[in-house]
Structure 1
Amino acid sequence: MFELDARLQADTLLVGDFKLCRLLLMNDNHYPWFILVPKRRNLTEVFQLKTEDQEQMWREVSAFAETLKDTFNVEKINIATLGNVVSQLHIHVIGRKTTDAAWPGPVWGKVEAQAYSAEQMKVVCEKLRMALTENFEFLNKVAQ
């Protein structure tokens, strides 16, 4: 059974599931920063996924990146699979603006994370609910 890394659980808010990936929101309201985690066990690298799962993962990442760009009106999308701190395979999909706190550098460690309030999380989920109408299941109670 798929288990989410403890660090990802601690640092993120659950949004829901695509066919392959779980969608999480990094609990830092400076940026619309999402993480997709393939729901497969014991993976640290993309190449460890079966070919069909790799293709599905990139379809979900690409579709979500487009949704993020349109829904949150960002100027640039950063997509990264680092895994230096959390080894479980996960893909960061981050919406960036030239006015954000870390621009033009990476978001990691630039400013102290500021957690989402319940109201802010509700707004994020409402925006996503309008955009993610197919092949997605919301698991966050706020979004339901």
Structure 2
Amino acid sequence: MMQDPIFSLHPQLAADSRLLVSLGTSDWLLMNDARFVWLAQVPRSSGAKLLVDLAPDMRAEVRQESDRVVTILQGAFSPDQINVAQIGNVVSQLHIHHVCRFADDALWPKPIWGQTPAQPYTEVEYEARLALLRAQF
């Protein structure tokens, strides 16, 4: 897939996450909330706010990447559920959340957004989670 020459990551996403891996169409970010295995898929397409804004071939590749990552998350963490959602109320740049949910997590069964403040990883925890996830790709 050809890179969008004017794509840049929204500053809020950059502040709230670290790059996990870049795949064919998307950058994958690990969100800085140690309570959840929470990834954000950011298709590298400037100006896109919704999946429908992408060209059909890119949209298909984004969905294939999402399916691949869901399978990786299922194998690595065995969650009770994986929530996949594009919301965009705070950050309008197209990004798709992939959150492993467990029946015993602090917010189950409620959505994680806007309920309580994030609990940032320590540096050691963040690096360990990134390493564990990167080993899956």
Query: Is TM (by shorter chain) over 0.5?
Result: yes
Taking the aligned partners of 1:108 and 1:91, their CA distance within structure 2 comes to 13
Matches for 1:60-99 after TM superposition, within 5 Å? 60-99=65-104
Query: How far is 1:130 from its partner?
Result: 2.4
Aligned residue pairs, count: 132
- Runs of 4+ aligned residues of structure 1 deviating over 4 Å after TM superposition are none
Which ranges in structure 2 are unaligned for 5 or more consecutive residues?
A: 1-5
Taking the aligned partners of 2:132 and 2:17, their CA distance within structure 1 comes to 18
Aligned to 2:111: 106
**Contact preservation (8 Å) 2:30, 2:39:** yes
Q: Which amino acid aligns with 1:72?
A: F
- Identify which range, 97-106 or 11-20, moves more after superposition: 11-20
Aligned to 1:137: none
Q: Identity of paired residues, percent? A: 33
Taking the aligned partners of 1:44 and 1:126, their CA distance within structure 2 comes to 30
- Residue 125 of structure 2 is aligned with which of 108, 120, 132? 120
User: Cα RMSD (Å) of the superposition?
Assistant: 1.0
Which ranges in structure 1 are unaligned for 5 or more consecutive residues?
A: 133-144
Length-normalised TM-score, structure 2: 0.91
- Identify which range, 2-11 or 109-118, moves more after superposition: 109-118
Taking the aligned partners of 1:125 and 1:4, their CA distance within structure 2 comes to 19
Is 2:42 the partner of 1:6? no
